[in-house]
Amino acid sequence: MEGLERGDTKPFYGYVKSQQQDSQGVSPLRAHGQLYSDAASKARMLSEQFKSMFIKDDPTVPTTRIPGPHFPSISPITVEPHGVEKLLLAINPRKASGPDEIPAHILQCLSADCSSLISHFQSVLTDS
């Protein structure tokens, strides 16, 4: 426990957490008096249970819209290349990639080159 001697509790709590986690996954499931332990059967049973919790919309039943607050529309937003470049340069390179899986340091290195392209795509998307 050399981490605790230095006042660093992170390794200790990491060890405790690793000992508490169950690596078995989903326990065997019982249906119709039979026990299922294979992954495919358990997935099918859980899917059926999940689907049973929801009802399908009935097209013969009229739907009523619940009134909510009315918000004024927002004026169009203009995205300029220099603003995109500024934001790309501000990305923290130590953070994980987003859904596009492009590493932050690549976005920073190419910020000047791709900022005009990104701002152009934004204008194309909002015009349609």
For the chain, the domain total comes to 1
Asked if 72 and 45 touch (Cβ cutoff 8 Å), the reply is no
Task: Examine residue 58 and state whether it is found in any structural domain, yes or no.
Answer: no
Kindly report the pTM of this predicted structure.
Answer: 0.42
pLDDT given for residue 26 in this prediction? 79
112 in a structural domain? yes
Task: Determine what percent of the chain is predicted with pLDDT higher than 90.
Answer: 20
**Calpha distance 17→51 (Å, rounded):** 33
Over the stretch 53-107, which tens digit does the pLDDT of each residue have?
877 777 777 777 777 788 888 888 888 999 999 999 999 988 888 888 899 999 9
| Burial track 4-38 (b if 16+ CB lie within 10 A, e otherwise) | eeeeeeeeeeeeeeeeeeeeeeeeebeeeeeebee
- Rounded Cα distance, 27 and 66, in Å: 42
Residue numbers of the domain that contains 99: 81-127
Q: Which residues share a beta bridge with 29?
A: 36
Residue 116 forms part of a structural domain: yes
